[in-house]
Chains A and B, each alone.
Chain A
Amino acid sequence: MNMLPQQIIAIAITAFFIIKLYKQKRKGEISNNEYIMWLVFWITAALAIAMIKQVDRLSGTLGLSASGIDFLVYLAVIMLFYFVFRLRLRLAKMDRELTEMVRQFAIKETDKKQAKNNN
């Protein structure tokens, strides 16, 4: 398989991210699910870059006028939107947990103060 220099550079970059991901997993910085999800993402990206001609054909079959590389950029943008959305939901959940902590703390402090006043 003859590859263009830019394909080799792109695959090297994905390899760098896969190694980084593996190190994060070994240090226990990310969960199993997260590790698998990102691993699948980077391997898919590397395969798509390596098989760019096939992606070109797929893009044509789907009726898209753009070339394979454009098709990959579109996919990446869609995925980024999805990740931002998921991040937003996770933030909302963390925000709710923070509110609950603030509430418990505030009530406990009030109880202490009331008990002190009653004594």
Chain B
Amino acid sequence: MPKIACIIPAWNEEKNITKVVESVKPYADFIIVINDKSQDTTAELAEKAGAIVINHPINRGQGASLQTGNDYALSLGADIIVHFDGDDQFLAEEINDMIEPIKRGEADIVFGSRFLGKETNFPFLKKNVIYPLAQIFTRLILGVRLSDPQNGFRAMNRQAAEEIRIINREMAHNSEIQSKAFSGKLRVAEVPITVIYHHFGQKLSGGIKIMKDLLIYKLSK
């Protein structure tokens, strides 16, 4: 049986972290919470719930937290790594669907998609403005052919986790991972997932910042 590690980046998630860690327990051998210098009790609660907690001494962003989690999961010998949000947006039972193509040997990396049939309570602006624009950007500029341009629910095997090193420490990491998955010639799959919106999340200004971060990343490489 492959060893599965679930990586949960968390920053001030004391309201949700216990529930999220408890919910993923049946689906992962290791639950790794990266506490990105939270000001609340996220770390204590995650540890109490049974997760391995890695504490960033200063806040570095979600992308940096995911790479910290990947490094640690690889050192523990994980065969499959799942990225899962700490704000209770995703459904833990869908982890099995996400890792299935990897287990069958059909994919190296699997991206969750909200546009493949499952119902999601999208905010209107996101569905009709932000995502179509993001999709055009990722398709034309980054060469990414995915139905969902911004989704944090993903799973990858060891090979993919070793090949994709996340450099963008903030929100541009999502586009970076997608871009590297396609340019690295990894086998990519998409799986329908459900997202439950508790808040609006990334705004249009956030999207513009992502594009700016990607540009600086490209030029400073």
Check: A44 CB closer than 8 A to any chain B CB: no
Check: A8 CB closer than 8 A to any chain B CB: no
Contact yes or no, B217 A92, CB < 8 A: yes
In this complex, what residue of B is CB-closest to A85? Answer: B219
- Among A89, A99, A103, A105, the residue within 8 A (CB) of B216 is A89
Interface of A is mostly: helix
Q: Per-position contact with B for A77-119: 1 when CB-CB < 8 Å, else 0?
A: 0000000000011101101100100110111011000100000
Check: B67 CB closer than 8 A to any chain A CB: yes
Contact yes or no, A107 B57, CB < 8 A: no
Q: Which residues does chain A contribute within 8 Å of B54, judged by CB atoms?
A: 106-107, 109-110
Q: Which residues does chain B contribute within 8 Å of A92, judged by CB atoms?
A: 216-217, 220
Q: A89-B219, A107-B72 are in contact. Are A99 and B53 (CB under 8 A)?
A: no
User: In the complex, how many angstroms separate the beta carbon of A12 from the nearest chain B beta carbon?
Assistant: 38
Contact yes or no, A106 B169, CB < 8 A: no
Q: A88-B216, A92-B216 are in contact. Are A110 and B72 (CB under 8 A)?
A: yes
Q: Which residues does chain A contribute within 8 Å of B179, judged by CB atoms?
A: none
User: In the complex, how many angstroms separate the beta carbon of A34 from the nearest chain B beta carbon?
Assistant: 18
Q: Which residues does chain A contribute within 8 Å of B72, judged by CB atoms?
A: 107, 110
Contact yes or no, B60 A102, CB < 8 A: yes
Contact yes or no, A102 B58, CB < 8 A: yes
Contact yes or no, B53 A110, CB < 8 A: yes
Q: Which residues does chain B contribute within 8 Å of A110, judged by CB atoms?
A: 52-55, 72
- Among A89, A90, A96, A106, the residue within 8 A (CB) of B55 is A106
Give the bracket for the number of chain A residues in contact with chain B. 10 to 19
User: In the complex, how many angstroms separate the beta carbon of A108 from the nearest chain B beta carbon?
Assistant: 10
Q: Per-position contact with B for A6-18: 1 when CB-CB < 8 Å, else 0?
A: 0000000000000
Contact yes or no, B67 A109, CB < 8 A: no
Q: Per-position contact with A for B35-76: 1 when CB-CB < 8 Å, else 0?
A: 000000000000000001111111010001001100110010
Contact yes or no, B60 A99, CB < 8 A: yes
Contact yes or no, A99 B169, CB < 8 A: yes
In the complex, A114 Cα to B68 Cα: how many Å? Answer: 16
User: In the complex, how many angstroms separate the beta carbon of B59 from the nearest chain A beta carbon?
Assistant: 9
In the complex, A93 Cα to B220 Cα: how many Å? Answer: 7
In the complex, A97 Cα to B60 Cα: how many Å? Answer: 12
In the complex, A110 Cα to B57 Cα: how many Å? Answer: 12
Contact yes or no, B52 A114, CB < 8 A: yes
Q: Which residues does chain B contribute within 8 Å of A95, judged by CB atoms?
A: 169
In the complex, A114 Cα to B72 Cα: how many Å? Answer: 12
Q: A99-B64, A103-B71 are in contact. Are A109 and B55 (CB under 8 A)?
A: yes
Apart from A102-B64, A103-B68, what are 8 other A-B pairs with CB-CB below 8 Å?
A89-B219, A92-B216, A96-B169, A103-B64, A107-B72, A109-B55, A110-B72, A114-B52
Interface residues of A (CB under 8 A from B): 88-90, 92-93, 95-96, 99, 102-103, 105-107, 109-110, 114
Query: 29 A–B contact pairs at CB < 8 A?
Result: A88-B216, A89-B216, A89-B220, A90-B220, A92-B216, A92-B217, A92-B220, A93-B220, A99-B60, A99-B64, A102-B56, A102-B60, A103-B56, A103-B67, A103-B71, A105-B57, A106-B54, A106-B56, A106-B68, A107-B54, A107-B68, A107-B72, A107-B75, A109-B54, A109-B55, A110-B52, A110-B54, A110-B55, A110-B72
